[in-house]
Amino acid sequence: MKEHLWSIHENFVDLMKPFRSKHLQTPEMEGRYSLKLVLPALVPDMDYSCLEVQNGEMAYDAFKTLSSLSPEERNVKRNDLLAYCNLDTYAMVKILRDLEVRCSE
């Protein structure tokens, strides 16, 4: 099992690297490389404004309150967190696709 997990780990690519090392910058990124700035800079039609949970701090706050909520409220908050995580994952896919296009030009 350990070997299998390490083989998966070896195939991961840190999408932050080209932005942290300043290989790709846009004015919209404001000299930073957080996902919340990189995403709208590279994929202008995507952002987090439509979500109830819009950033990591909000996700943390929502998660830590789950145990104190009613089952109905917990379900709503859980779905809000899943929507946030879904967009985070999809955002990385879209950023990777944008980088692939840029590299092939």
- Among the residue ranges 6-10, 57-61, 100-104, the one predicted with the least confidence is 6-10
* Model confidence pTM above 0.95: no
> Which residue range is the domain that position 51 belongs to?
2-104
Average pLDDT over residues 60-73: 97
Mean pLDDT of 43-53: 93
Q: Which ranges in 1-105 belong to alpha helices (H)? A: 2-10, 17-20, 35-42, 56-65, 71-104
Burial status of residue 21 (CB atoms within 10 A of its CB: 0-12, 13-18, 19 or more) = exposed
Does residue 5 carry a pLDDT above 90? no
pLDDT at 98 over 90: yes
Q: Rounded mean pLDDT of the chain?
A: 92
Rounded-to-integer distance, Cα 30 and Cα 80, Å: 28
What pLDDT sits at residue 46? 92
Domain count, the chain: 1
Nearest one of 11, 10, 97, 1 to 46, comparing CA atoms:
97
Residue 19 exposure: Cα atoms within 13 Å on the Cβ side: 24
Mean pLDDT to the nearest integer, 64-82 = 97
Average pLDDT in the 27-34 region?
Answer: 89
Q: What percent of the chain has pLDDT over 70?
A: 100
